[in-house]
Chains A and B, each alone.
Chain A
């Protein structure tokens, strides 16, 4: 087998690919957060709970409505997005003019309540959700076995990430959005309904978390804790990428997936810490994040 400096290159390629898959999943998760964080300046700690809600909704839709994975992929994000819209309209908007700390605490509390309710209703052990038949099995690559579902994670994440980035950075709608959050009064004067735009943007960001939840249901444990486990990592990714940078969040998500994957290979004990280590270094050297605009 090919080796370099005593490292098995075959094994390394496998680890890189797996890291990239995880990275695309991180990118998907951090995207919603980056939109809400970057455009609306709301620190949404409930994003992890919304991801959990998406996974549970997929399970419930299958169990009680007989809705399969593919329909869940469309309808669950809409439903979770609707929850987000209600949340913005009735919980966050009343404190929109207060310090950011208020919305942070509110969303954090909301997440804890949601997590507690789901533990109460469904228990803490999680629920089963099978991989859809169309994506079962996998392909044998020279260096590893690639499950079809993992390949699908990369494809779906890239489509959603690139699509969202393009919509916000390159279209007229995106331009309104960016302008509206930059100077709401001016945009209102131009006849743009800024509060509605904020609500819809929040709903969209939350819907992305719901989408990620459905994507996660077949491969990860569907349990009330699933969101809180991953949320902090995703926050770190948004911070490393630079606040307000959609593209930065996507690229950082991918990169951190690879960094974490390599850590899992060389020194697994540090794999949950390595992203925070990177975050500290980045903040020291470039406080606005890798792709953030200097304040």
Chain B
């Protein structure tokens, strides 16, 4: 009897201890998520307010509470400026108790922000940036790069084209970090597949008229013109390419095309063009179900960063629950140990270097006849398994 009492007592104490441990381990008695994005500038449609909506949906679907503590969301506009973004995140993590930061669009901003999050041991769930630096030269045990990166874009779009005999490439590149990274990675893929880069022009960000560059591309004798740019630069360069008859002479490959950018183009111009994406709303029933809910709240179909922001937030919250704490090291361990699996993340796992490896999709932009509604933007041609899409891990970035 005595020993029975003793067992009961110790069991009760253990229960009491674990609950008190769980309480003590959620900092400030809440889990706070910061969403940082360009809210009103060129990339607002790509993530922006839509990413806030996606994170809100994740929190609601999760139940609004984790480990008995409320989940809060704060958001801010980084104006695509690294100094603005990193100052905001510093304020969030140092004095407002923010535990995790997501959104994160322009690679330059993300570069500055992830320094702050890493210094403060907070997790950054990168939903929209393209650069592969966050899991290579700027890798950190606190980064989780979720949606896509330049390597996946190049492997997805460029490799099959070179293999099909389109050996000579010319690049029209946005003249800043992202464009250079994309061109560099794509050139490597071309060379490794036995192709060659016959020329490249670096067009300043925000160039309105690309006709001069299109003429240079036409004169280059290339098989393919790769557009290593995004947003309005992509739209302007493709419009001009079509106008000058370039699209009839050579193939044009858009290396980064978000659904809203494709919607901004006349299907007569963009129809049939191949590109690679990390998500498409109409892929399967699960994706359609989530996307319909997103559209109902946000008014537009989700672009890949929106789906990525939801998926990353959900995986984070699940991991907090399992870890029994919001301590970043413990949560990240669980995030890497458990495989995310939802409407976005297929055959997915978060690698030790912080790269979320998952299926990517080679798609083509729909032609006029295929566009039943203005939301039918892509046809999925092929699923690219994650291990083929993303580059292998660097040994120095293998965080345990």
Chain A residues proximal to chain B, CB less than 8 Å: 8, 11, 14-15, 18-19, 21-22, 25, 116, 119-120, 123-131, 138, 144-145, 147, 149-150, 219-223, 225-226, 229-230, 261, 264-265, 268-269, 271-272
Chain B 300-329 against A: per-residue CB contact (8 Å), 1 yes, 0 no? 100000000000000000000000000000
Q: Give Cα distance in the complex from A129 to B40, angstroms.
A: 22
Min CB distance B321 to A, Å, is 35
Min CB distance B341 to A, Å, is 30
With beta carbons under 8 angstroms apart, the residue of A11, A21, A119, A138 that contacts B219 is A11
Residues from chain A with a CB closer than 8 A to the CB of B136 are none
With beta carbons under 8 angstroms apart, the residue of B48, B204, B264 that contacts A272 is B204
Known: A220-B209, A265-B212, A271-B207. Contact between A126 and B245, CB under 8 A? no
Closest residue of B by beta carbon distance from A144: B215
Are B201 and A125 in touch, CB under 8 angstroms? no
Residues from chain A with a CB closer than 8 A to the CB of B244 are 138, 145, 147
B232 CB-CB contact with A under 8 Å = yes
For B, the interface residue count at a CB cutoff of 8 angstroms equals: 42
Task: Known A-B contacts: A119-B40, A129-B266. Give 13 more (CB < 8 A).
Answer: A120-B40, A124-B44, A125-B235, A125-B260, A125-B264, A126-B232, A126-B261, A127-B264, A128-B263, A225-B232, A226-B208, A264-B212, A265-B216
Q: Give Cα distance in the complex from A15 to B175, angstroms.
A: 20
B194 CB-CB contact with A under 8 Å = no
Chain B 207-230 against A: per-residue CB contact (8 Å), 1 yes, 0 no? 111011101101100000000000
Are B245 and A225 in touch, CB under 8 angstroms? no
Residues from chain B with a CB closer than 8 A to the CB of A145 are 218, 244-245
Q: Give Cα distance in the complex from A149 to B243, angstroms.
A: 8
Q: Give Cα distance in the complex from A229 to B236, angstroms.
A: 13
Min CB distance B268 to A, Å, is 7
Are B211 and A18 in touch, CB under 8 angstroms? yes
Are B263 and A138 in touch, CB under 8 angstroms? no
Q: Give Cα distance in the complex from A15 to B143, angstroms.
A: 46
Chain B residues proximal to chain A, CB less than 8 Å: 40-46, 48, 175, 201-204, 206-209, 211-213, 215-216, 218-219, 231-232, 235-236, 239-240, 243-245, 258, 260-261, 263-266, 268, 300
Min CB distance B249 to A, Å, is 9
Residues from chain A with a CB closer than 8 A to the CB of B219 are 8, 11, 14
Known: A19-B212, A265-B212, A271-B207. Contact between A124 and B243, CB under 8 A? no
With beta carbons under 8 angstroms apart, the residue of B211, B216, B300 that contacts A123 is B300
With beta carbons under 8 angstroms apart, the residue of B43, B45, B209, B264 that contacts A128 is B264
Are B45 and A125 in touch, CB under 8 angstroms? yes
Known: A125-B231, A130-B266, A268-B202. Contact between A221 and B260, CB under 8 A? no
Min CB distance A28 to B, Å, is 13
Closest residue of A by beta carbon distance from B211: A18
Are B204 and A271 in touch, CB under 8 angstroms? yes
Are B175 and A269 in touch, CB under 8 angstroms? yes
Min CB distance A269 to B, Å, is 5
Q: Which are the 3 A-B pairs with shortest beta-carbon distances?
A: A264-B212, A125-B260, A126-B264
Residues from chain B with a CB closer than 8 A to the CB of A271 are 203-204, 207, 212
With beta carbons under 8 angstroms apart, the residue of B42, B206, B245 that contacts A124 is B42
Are B215 and A126 in touch, CB under 8 angstroms? no
Min CB distance A30 to B, Å, is 14
Are B212 and A131 in touch, CB under 8 angstroms? no
Are B203 and A124 in touch, CB under 8 angstroms? no
With beta carbons under 8 angstroms apart, the residue of A8, A15, A147, A223 that contacts B243 is A147
Listed by A's residue number, 17 A-B pairs whose Cβ atoms lie within 8 Å are: A11-B219, A15-B212, A25-B209, A116-B40, A120-B40, A125-B258, A125-B263, A126-B235, A144-B218, A150-B243, A219-B243, A221-B264, A222-B264, A223-B235, A225-B232, A265-B216, A268-B213
Are B236 and A221 in touch, CB under 8 angstroms? yes
